[in-house]
Amino acid sequence: GPVAETFRVIQGAVTEEHVRSTQGVFQFELSGDGGGTWYIDLKTEGGSAGFGKPPVTADVVMSMSSADFVKMF
């Protein structure tokens, strides 16, 4: 779905420079189609994004509809 595709694109775009300059972990609690817990880790070496809880504690947790998340990105 659109949420999984958005995270696939984010994962492919993450670089070491993003990790080095951001140093943050973002957790998204999404409701609606494709919802659930998703994350973007821009703190751990290599960075990552995907479904589930982040590998380290999130610095920011955002709750929104999956439709709003897709629009935001």
Give the pLDDT of the chain (73 residues) as one tens digit per residue. 999 999 999 999 999 999 999 999 999 999 999 999 999 999 999 999 999 999 999 999 999 999 999 999 9
CATH code for the domain of 21: 3.30.1050.10
Structure-token pair, residue 56? 């380290």
24-31 and 60-65 as β-strands: parallel, antiparallel, unpaired?
parallel
The answer to whether residue 14 is domain-embedded is yes
The radius of gyration of the chain from alpha carbons, rounded to an integer in Å, stands at: 11
- pLDDT of 39-55, one tens digit each? 999 999 999 999 999 99
The answer to whether residue 46 is domain-embedded is yes
- Model pTM score: 0.94
Structure-token pair, residue 26? 């973002």
CA distances from 50 to 10, 53, 55 (A): 9, 9, 10
Q: Are 14 and 22 in contact (CB under 8 A)?
A: no
